[in-house]
């Protein structure tokens, strides 16, 4: 059970990162569950930070 939960959360984080890199809006998060949504948003924030540091601005 723990492995399934971790995989689900890792996948949410990865999908959030992909959304952030591609420039999608933060409101496009498809998850409603608190833990999964938090992981998605964490990935999104990381991607936005990476994008800003790489390109030097938005």
Tell me the per-residue pLDDT of 10-57, one tens digit each, with 9 for 90 and over. 999 999 999 999 999 999 999 999 999 999 999 999 999 998 888 775
Contact of 39 with 11, CB cutoff 8 Å: no
Cα 11 to Cα 13: distance, rounded to the nearest angstrom: 5
2-55 homologous superfamily: ribosome modulation factor like domain (1.10.10.620)
For position 6, what pLDDT does the model report? 75
Q: How many other CB atoms are there within 10 angstroms of residue 25's CB atom?
A: 9
For position 31, what pLDDT does the model report? 96
For position 30, what pLDDT does the model report? 97
Contact of 52 with 58, CB cutoff 8 Å: yes
SS3 49: helix
Residue 58 in this model has a pLDDT that exceeds 80: no
Residue 1 in this model has a pLDDT that exceeds 60: no
Residue 3 in this model has a pLDDT that exceeds 80: no
Using the 8-state DSSP alphabet, how is residue 26 labeled? G
């Amino acid at each position: 059970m723990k492995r399934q939960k971790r995989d689900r959360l890792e996948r949410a984080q990865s999908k959030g990162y992909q959304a952030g890199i591609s420039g999608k809006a933060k409101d496009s998060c498809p998850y409603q569950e608190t833990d999964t949504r938090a992981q998605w948003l964490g990935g999104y924030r990381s991607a936005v930070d990476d994008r800003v540091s790489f390109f030097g601005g938005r």
